[in-house]
Amino acid sequence: MNLFWKLFVVFGIAMALTLVGAVFVGFRLASLAFDQLNIENREEIIAQAAGVLNEQGEPGLQAWLRARPSPAPGLMLMVLNERNEDLLGREVPSRFERLLRPRPSRGPRGPSNLRPPQLTSNLVGADGQEYRFLFVRTRMTVLGVLTWPATQLAVLTLAVLAAAATALLLARYLSSPIVRLQRASRALAAGALETRVGAPFNRRKDEVGTLARDFDTMAERIQALVTDKETLLRDVSHELRSPLARIGVALALAQRKAGEGSQADLLRIEQEAARLDELVGQIMTLARLRTQAAQRFEPVELDELVTEVVENARFEHPQARIDYTPAKLPAVPGEAMELRSAIENVLRNALAHSDGAGPIGVSLKAAGRTVEIAVEDRGPGVPAEELERIFEPFYRADKSRDHSHDGQGIGLAITARVMERHGGQAYARNRPGGGLEVTLTLPVNSRGESAPRG
């Protein structure tokens, strides 16, 4: 159960119990208005009235009632004759009239000497007249309203609904910034350095607002550090291109002038210069992918693109066996040159580390709203704890990414970045039979960070 529902359930139950308890207490207080037996000094009041009635009759009882109309604060004493008329001519509340009215029998009659229960206390005068004592609240109150028909059920229903609505708002108020922070942290970890929590959460004056502002500050500093690093790499790589070009020219001149004994050494220098130039180019490509602004993607026929990459690899490595069966798939939005480079890097990595141990498998298939490109080799594989790190720049696994193979650990980093820019993902796993399988996923109908806006 996520935090939102935990907060909703806990606050909802707590507030519902509180409101229902408050309503129950209100009902109990309201019921006292009609409880004729729990009036303060009731027995003493009735005893005084009985003495006055015995000694002075009905006129004396009227005089006594005028002198003492209120036996307690908020209460009024009414004495009714046999016709249910107040001795002082006051109007009997309608709710008491209904209660005082005799009710028809709903079944077989009871014993002849059984008297029905009485709402009030009765006194009998010397002339045989019967008088009823009724204690009434002097004015209508909110508690009195609670005794109306169906009011209790309505109030309880409203209490539960109010508790649920309040719990919903409170749970959303507390959980929504946490959910936003969670999404922002995941996006930042995935490489979206421009991610911010933003308004309205960073404008709050409580601890949540402070946390949101701290997160935005942290994200800004991380973005600045990464941008500075990428800019430095790009600038340094660009500056290296000029001396590398001059080294190439100098090597060409030296090869013309040198004798046969020096050609092998000069050829070695030329190869290392070429590798250095390739490394510089890869660094510049990685820096461009990390800092380049958003661009508009075009539909790319992925099956044709993969077929072209496989054919180029077969031409460059005629001794290698690459098993690939083309499959017709829907076009994906993307940048063809970047996708070609990403796929080539994965295939070249497989060729470099297979060492002729077996065929290279390339497969292409649709998986729901995505397409998958899988490249598997029969090489030594990668330790399980290092599978995620092989997509980091300059990272080399201990066994499968050693210096005996060409490459500087940038190709797979470029592939991962291209997948991120296209809204996809690159991940690797070790095959059960040995070797490494790298899978690239791309969305069919959605766009990555470089999608057009507007």
Please enumerate in sequence order all residues whose Cβ is within 8 A of that of 234, keeping only pairs 6 or more positions apart, or say none: 283, 284, 287, 288, 291
| pLDDT of amino acid 417 | 85
Residue ranges, the chain, pLDDT below 70? 1-4, 6-7, 23-40, 69, 72-74, 95, 97-99, 101-120, 137-153, 155-156, 233-234, 237, 287-295, 355-357, 396-409, 445-454
Cis check for the bond before 200: say yes or no (omega within 30 of 0): yes
CB-count exposure of residue 2 (10 Å: 0-12, 13-18, 19+): exposed
Domain chopping of the chain, boundaries: 193-292, 298-443
Pair of tokens at residue 297 = 């993607």
Long-range contacts of 235-238 (CB under 8 A, 24+ apart): 237/280, 237/281, 237/283, 237/284, 237/287, 238/284
CATH classification code of 298-443: 3.30.565.10
The enclosing H or E element of 72 equals none
Adjacent-strand bridge partners of 136: 76
Residue 127's CB is within 10 A of a number of other CB atoms, namely 7
Confidence at residue 114, expressed as pLDDT on a 0 to 100 scale: 57
User: Distance (Å, rounded) from C-alpha 437 to C-alpha 306?
Assistant: 16
CB burial string 32-69: b at 16+ within 10 A, e below: ebeebeebeebeebbeebbebbeeeebeebbebbeeee
pLDDT confidence of residue 333? 87
- Enumerate long-range contacts of 401-407, CB under 8 Å, 24 or more apart: 401/353, 405/352, 405/353, 406/275, 406/352, 407/348, 407/349, 407/352
pLDDT computed for residue 150 by the predictor:
53
Contact 201, 212 (CB under 8 A): yes
Write down the pLDDT at residue 147: 46
Which letter does DSSP use for residue 389 in this model? G
Distance CA 342, CA 13 (A): 54
> Which CATH code is given to the segment(s) 193-292?
1.10.287.130
The answer for residues whose C-beta is within 8 angstroms of residue 160's C-beta and 6 or more apart is 16, 19, 20
Alpha-carbon span 367 to 255, nearest angstrom = 54
Q: Decide if 8 contacts 167 (C-beta within 8 A).
A: yes
